[in-house]
């Protein structure tokens, strides 16, 4: 099987699994799978990034820059009344016309997200920690543009559970099941810092556009709340540091501990590390937990992060599992709390704590 055959299979699989939640990308994927010229565009990417969403993001980026007026009419986030005709011919024509620009993006960029909806799944866990330990000092690892560091400026609507937080241009809705400990207000956060190997600067228009381009256009609500969060971040720039998740974590947590109870947060970021790096990450946290009290809130898939100490089924779940791991007086305590939608749309609470 040639490399192009493998790419063709990837697009066919994408069309099968994604059409229900992303009709536009599903239709495009089915067409790309049969088009050698389009497959060759993606083949220029580094092998780990030869994935359908990278080509889609590159095209989306150019459309967001103002190109492709006709093709934009097929994108639900870019058109008030998107056309329902076949998008494949226009997509192919656009790609061939802008092949050089697309190859530049494909060979120099990788897919990246900063899903602010995940703040809705983290907030109840943070509220429990604050009720126990007082003001929090938050360290968000894999922070991207640092938008989740601004969780205190967002408005939440838990159903049931009620509203939390200030009136805001960023409004997050979350359906709940079970005894979700929805806090009465945003917990006090005395310090917030993010760590990322390749952080996004919210003042850089090109970098921000790429972050927006990685959102699937069929999910127009995600796109709208991302753009709103970016505009908010430009008025309240988050503290984001460039660094390695394992090597630079200890110093950052020790800095945070000078301001409040240190809380390390991960949401769909540890799956990007190798198994060896995840083990090293856990070892670093264990060492910190032997020095002072610390909490770790994580929303990750056990199937993709098997090295983490999160209770799961015999066949590890692909669902997102929310857990809090506490080190108190050097002892580790693990609390599996909930399953949740990867983008924070729903939260099913399990924990009795």
Q: How far apart are CA 176 and CA 180, in angstroms?
A: 7
pLDDT of residue 325: 98
Q: What is the pLDDT of residue 1?
A: 59
- Answer for the pair 123, 344: CB distance below 8 angstroms, yes or no: no
Nearest to residue 52, comparing CAs of 14, 23, 91?
14
pLDDT at 48: 85
The first and second tokens of residue 282, run together, are: 């856990």
Cα 123 to Cα 106: distance, rounded to the nearest angstrom: 35
pTM (predicted TM-score): 0.92
pLDDT at residue 318, as a whole number: 82
Helices (H), 3-98: 3-18, 23-32, 36-43, 52-64, 69-72, 88-97
> The tokens of 83 are what?
């056309």
Residue with tokens 């889609």: 56
Position 264 scores a pLDDT of 98
Over the stretch 179-224, which tens digit does the pLDDT of each residue have? 999 999 999 999 999 999 999 999 999 999 999 999 999 999 999 9
Give the pLDDT score at 2. Answer: 75
Q: Which residues of the chain have pLDDT under 70?
A: 1, 353
| 165 conformational bin, left if phi > 0, alpha if psi -120 to 50, beta if neither | left
**Per-residue confidence (pLDDT) for residue 353, from 0 to 100:** 62
Angle, in degrees to the nearest 10, between helices 52-64 and 88-97: 80
């Amino acid at each position: 099987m040639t490399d192009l055959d493998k790419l063709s299979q990837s697009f066919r699989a994408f069309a099968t699994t994604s059409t229900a939640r992303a009709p536009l990308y599903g239709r495009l994927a089915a067409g790309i799978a049969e088009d050698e010229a389009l497959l060759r565009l993606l083949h220029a990417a580094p092998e780990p990034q030869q994935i359908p969403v990278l080509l889609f993001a590159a095209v989306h980026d150019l459309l967001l820059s103002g190109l492709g007026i006709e093709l934009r009419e097929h994108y639900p986030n870019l058109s008030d009344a998107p056309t329902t005709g076949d998008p494949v011919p226009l997509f192919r024509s656009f790609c061939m016309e802008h092949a050089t620009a697309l190859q530049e993006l494909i060979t120099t960029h990788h897919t990246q997200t900063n899903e602010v909806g995940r703040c809705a799944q983290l907030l109840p866990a943070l509220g429990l920690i604050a009720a126990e330990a007082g003001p929090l000092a938050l360290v968000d690892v894999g922070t991207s543009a640092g938008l989740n560091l601004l969780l205190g400026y967002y408005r939440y609507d838990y159903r049931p559970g009620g509203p939390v937080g200030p009136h805001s241009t960023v409004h997050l809705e979350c359906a709940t099941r079970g005894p979700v400990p929805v806090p009465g207000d945003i917990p006090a956060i005395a310090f917030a810092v993010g760590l990322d190997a390749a952080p996004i600067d919210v003042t850089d228009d090109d970098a921000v556009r790429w972050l927006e381009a990685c959102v699937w256009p069929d999910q127009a609500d995600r796109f709208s709340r991302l753009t709103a969060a970016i505009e908010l971040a430009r008025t309240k720039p988050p503290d984001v540091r460039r660094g390695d998740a394992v090597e630079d974590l200890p110093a950052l947590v020790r800095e945070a501990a000078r301001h409040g109870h240190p809380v390390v947060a991960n949401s769909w970021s540890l799956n990007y590390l190798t198994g060896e790096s995840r083990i090293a990450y856990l070892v670093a946290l264990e060492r910190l937990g032997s020095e002072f009290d610390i909490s770790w809130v994580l929303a990750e898939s056990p199937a993709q992060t098997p090295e983490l100490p999160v209770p799961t089924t015999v066949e590890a779940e692909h669902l997102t599992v929310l857990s809090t791991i506490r080190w108190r007086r050097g002892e580790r305590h693990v609390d599996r709390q909930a399953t949740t939608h990867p983008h924070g749309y729903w939260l099913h609470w399990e924990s009795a704590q």
